[in-house]
Chain A
């Protein structure tokens, strides 16, 4: 029997045109022309599954893996600047992240598996905006700023304004997330990250990120963000405000955790219904606050 022609060979992904970006400016020009029909291919750990499952049909795939100028971690003044194409593996192993962004370093213990981290990028992860992904919560808790570029220039977006809904961000189709800027962790700031997932490395059923400062045993500038709970990661402003100026004691942490658990509107998944998610939010928030406070007191 004759072998069928390769053109007819079955393939999972839909057909697309492939463009390999050789410069950021060239890419931005291409996006200005084709943004609506184009998808950016970075690590491919979320986009290629969607293609294989035919959940998306881009006309053009623009491969940015050749843009080495977007792969960096730098300490500049009081900020850590991370290029969008930096791989999860690099960030998880980075001494700069370990020293200046300990919340991110801790959360990376929950992010995927080595094979996925080898390819997946921070910029791709944030732009994909999976509600159960850890980094959207981390960068909101750290009050990060996102640098977004297009043919006409750059703009800065606060992390808390970036995530609009499930798999939806404030990015225009003509724009590319190019850099993440994170204020470094001050000497009086402490943090903790807590998560429950079906297996280690899987997406969160619920995850809680906390940063705080203690002044004479009272809570100052507490920030709490969650992931995996609602249709997007967000800050828990009411729970944060409830702790302002309060003594760092278990009773207040429990109240704040209960407040957050009462106010979230959980999405349901195979692994966790709304009731379980609320219970996890309550437990994990109290646990993260307690751990962050203990670290601050040391």
Chain B
């Protein structure tokens, strides 16, 4: 269990994208800042920093969460996945390929959050309806695309992932 150290910092052990990290954090350290600054995982973006825009969405123990609304200290013992867990430029995840092929991004700022929200959906619902896709990304702001291509990209990814699974 997390115990306070003499500096007011608390030791935590967190698994991020399969790698276990031990760090001491100030209690007010947001998970989003912990990922970006302490672990140098800058794929997770920060936008509004009060839970509205969704760009900082990550998977916490398999479910999406706003990383700007959780303190790192609360994640002691947790398993976290960020956008970096999906794929690399040479070996993209089907979701990333689909966003590329369907022009599901323009400036790309919202994309990490979109991908993690879409991943949560496709892991529980491999063949979602258009309505389910819209519902799943309804808490993610995109100011460029108008969402149509994002919805198509998620649908395309679902097909790709099903093909891949057979």
A positions within 8 Å CB-CB of B:
6-7, 9, 11-18, 20, 22, 41, 44-45, 48-49, 51-53, 61, 63, 65, 89, 112-116, 118-119, 199-201
Does B136 lie at the interface of the complex (its beta carbon under 8 Å from any beta carbon of A)? yes
Q: Are A119 and B65 in contact (CB under 8 A)?
A: yes
Q: Are B27 and A16 in contact (CB under 8 A)?
A: yes
Residues in A whose Cβ lies below 8 Å from that of B117: 114-115
Task: Please measure, in the bound complex, the distance between the C-alpha atom of A61 and the C-alpha atom of B51, giving whole angstroms.
Answer: 19
What are the 10 closest A-B residue pairs judged by CB atoms, nearest first?
A: A113-B139, A18-B27, A49-B50, A48-B69, A115-B64, A13-B28, A118-B63, A49-B51, A52-B50, A113-B138
Q: Are B33 and A116 in contact (CB under 8 A)?
A: no
Task: Please measure, in the bound complex, the distance between the C-alpha atom of A20 and the C-alpha atom of B68, giving whole angstroms.
Answer: 19
Does B74 lie at the interface of the complex (its beta carbon under 8 Å from any beta carbon of A)? yes
With beta carbons under 8 angstroms apart, the residue of A13, A16, A51, A116 that contacts B66 is A116
Q: Are A18 and B71 in contact (CB under 8 A)?
A: yes
Among residues 1 to 29 in chain B, which have CB atoms less than 8 Å away from a CB atom of chain A? Answer: 1-2, 4, 8, 10, 26-29
| Closest B residue to A118 using CB positions | B63
A-B contact count (CB 8 A): 95
Q: Are B69 and A119 in contact (CB under 8 A)?
A: yes
| Closest A residue to B3 using CB positions | A20
Does B90 lie at the interface of the complex (its beta carbon under 8 Å from any beta carbon of A)? no
Main secondary structure of the interface of B (DSSP, over half): mixed
B positions within 8 Å CB-CB of A:
1-2, 4, 8, 10, 26-30, 33, 37-38, 49-51, 54, 57, 63-66, 68-71, 73-74, 117, 120, 135-136, 138-139
**29 A-B pairs whose Cβ atoms sit less than 8 Å apart in the complex:** A13-B28, A14-B28, A15-B26, A15-B27, A15-B28, A17-B27, A18-B27, A18-B73, A20-B1, A45-B51, A49-B51, A51-B28, A52-B49, A52-B69, A112-B139, A113-B54, A114-B135, A114-B138, A114-B139, A115-B64, A115-B65, A115-B117, A116-B66, A118-B65, A119-B65, A119-B69, A119-B70, A200-B138, A201-B139
Q: Which of B66, B117, B135 has the most CB of A within 10 A?
A: B66
Task: Please measure, in the bound complex, the distance between the C-alpha atom of A201 and the C-alpha atom of B49, giving whole angstroms.
Answer: 19
Q: Are A12 and B29 in contact (CB under 8 A)?
A: no
Task: Please measure, in the bound complex, the distance between the C-alpha atom of A199 and the C-alpha atom of B134, giving whole angstroms.
Answer: 12
Residues in A whose Cβ lies below 8 Å from that of B50: 48-49, 52-53
Residues in B whose Cβ lies below 8 Å from that of A119: 65-66, 69-70
Residues in A whose Cβ lies below 8 Å from that of B30: 11-13, 48, 52
Chain B nearest Cβ from A15, distance in angstroms: 6
Residues in B whose Cβ lies below 8 Å from that of A89: 63
Chain B nearest Cβ from A201, distance in angstroms: 6
Task: Please measure, in the bound complex, the distance between the C-alpha atom of A14 and the C-alpha atom of B135, giving whole angstroms.
Answer: 34
**CB contact under 8 A between A65 and B54, given known A13-B28, A201-B139:** no
Task: Please measure, in the bound complex, the distance between the C-alpha atom of A49 and the C-alpha atom of B117, giving whole angstroms.
Answer: 20
Can you name 16 extra interface pairs (CB under 8 A) apart from A48-B50, A63-B74, A119-B66? A11-B29, A11-B33, A12-B30, A15-B8, A17-B27, A20-B2, A44-B71, A44-B74, A48-B68, A49-B51, A52-B49, A65-B74, A115-B66, A115-B117, A118-B64, A118-B65
